[in-house]
Amino acid sequence: MSLPIASTRSLRERWEAAVTTPDPTPVVEVGIPMRDGVELAADVYLPVESARPAPAIVTITPYDKSSGLLVTAEARYYQENGYVFVAVDCRGRGKSEGEWRAIVNDHADGHDVVEWVAAQPWCSGKVGMTGLSYMGWTQWAAASQFPPHLTCMVSTSAAGRWQQEIPYTDGCFQLYFGWWVYLVRRRISELYGLGQNDWNAVLRTLPIEAIGDFINPTGPTWRDVMDRDTLDDFWRAARVDDAYQGIDVPCLHVTGWFDLEDLLGAFAHYEGMMAHSPAKDRQQLIVGPWSHGNARNPHHSYAGDLIAPEAAVDMDAVHLRWFDHWLKGVDNGVEQDPPVRIFETGANVWREDLPWSNERPTASLHLRYGGGDGALAAAAGDAEPSRSYRYDPEDPSPTQIDVELYPVQDVPLDQTAVEARPDVLTWTSEPLTQEVVVSGWPHLELFASSDCDDTEWHVKLTDVGPDGRSMKVCQGCLRASYRDSLEHPSPLTPGEIHRFLVELWPVHHAFLPGHRIRVSVTSSDFPWFARSLNQVGPLKSQAIPKVATNTIHHGGEHASRIILPIQRGELP
Convert the pLDDT of each residue in 104-140 to its tens digit: 999 999 999 999 999 999 999 999 999 999 999 999 9
With 80 as the cut, is the pLDDT of residue 318 above it? Answer: yes
**What's the fold here for domain 362-568?**
Jelly Rolls (2.60.120)
Q: What is the pLDDT of residue 20?
A: 60
In the structure, what pLDDT confidence band is assigned to residue 11 with cuts at 50, 70 and 90?
Answer: low
Q: CB under 8 Å, gap of 24 or more: what pairs does 348-354 form? A: 348/289, 348/307, 348/308, 348/311, 349/308, 349/310, 350/3, 350/310, 351/508, 354/439, 354/508, 354/567
Q: Which amino acid, 452?
A: C
Nearest to 140 by CA among 119, 121, 154, 124: 154
Q: What is the pLDDT of residue 194?
A: 59
Q: Contact, 444 vs 562, CB < 8 A?
A: yes
Q: What are phi and psi of 319, to 5 degrees?
A: -65, -45
Mean pLDDT is lowest, of 2-6, 70-74, 193-197, 451-455, for: 193-197
Residue 70 or 339, more confident = 339
Q: What is the pLDDT of residue 197?
A: 74
In the structure, what pLDDT confidence band is assigned to residue 7 with cuts at 50, 70 and 90?
Answer: low
Residue 177 class from Cβ within 10 Å (0-12 exposed, 13-18 middle, 19+ buried)?
buried
Give the tens place of pLDDT for each residue, 175-214.
988 989 999 999 988 765 556 678 888 999 999 999 999 9
With 90 as the cut, is the pLDDT of residue 21 above it? Answer: no
Sheet with 349-351: strands ordered across: 28-33, 39-45, 84-89, 54-61, 123-132, 150-156, 251-256, 283-288, 340-344, 349-351
Q: What is the pLDDT of residue 220?
A: 97
In the structure, what pLDDT confidence band is assigned to residue 512 with cuts at 50, 70 and 90?
Answer: very high
Give the tens place of pLDDT for each residue, 467-484.
999 999 999 999 999 999
Alpha carbon separation from 348 to 9, 252, 288, 545 (Å, rounded): 20, 22, 10, 43
With 70 as the cut, is the pLDDT of residue 102 above it? Answer: yes
With 60 as the cut, is the pLDDT of residue 97 above it? Answer: yes
In the structure, what pLDDT confidence band is assigned to residue 355 with cuts at 50, 70 and 90?
Answer: very high
**Residue-averaged pLDDT of the chain:** 94
Q: Find the mean pLDDT for residues 503-529.
A: 98
Q: How many CA atoms lie within 13 A of 436 on its CB side?
A: 22
Q: Find the mean pLDDT for residues 518-532.
A: 97
Helix axes 315-328, 73-80, angle to 10 degrees: 50
Rounded CA-CA distance 467/472 in Å is: 15
Q: What is the pLDDT of residue 1?
A: 62
Domain spanning 11-171+230-351, CATH class: alpha beta
Q: Find the mean pLDDT for residues 495-521.
A: 98
Q: What are the boundaries of each domain within the chain?
A: 11-171+230-351, 362-568
Q: What are phi and psi of 336, to 5 degrees?
A: -95, -5
SS3 for 266-314, per residue?
Answer: HHHHHHHHHHHCCCHHHEEEEEECCCCHHHCCCCCEECCEECCHHHCEC
Question: pTM of the full predicted structure?
Answer: 0.94
Q: Find the mean pLDDT for residues 436-443.
A: 98
Q: What is the pLDDT of residue 179?
A: 87
Q: What is the pLDDT of residue 195?
A: 60
Rg of the chain's alpha carbons, rounded to an integer?
24
Please determine whether the domains at 11-171+230-351 and 362-568 fall in the same fold group of CATH.
no
Residue 185 or 21, more confident = 185
Q: What is the pLDDT of residue 133?
A: 96
Mean pLDDT is lowest, of 36-40, 50-54, 96-100, 537-541, for: 50-54
With 60 as the cut, is the pLDDT of residue 22 above it? Answer: no
Buried-state track 141-158, b at ≥16 Cβ within 10 A, e below 16: bbbbbebebbbbbbbbbb
Q: What is the pLDDT of residue 555?
A: 87
Q: What is the pLDDT of residue 342?
A: 98
Give the tens place of pLDDT for each residue, 25-34.
568 999 999 9
Nearest to 4 by CA among 315, 457, 251: 315
Percent of the chain with pLDDT over 90: 86
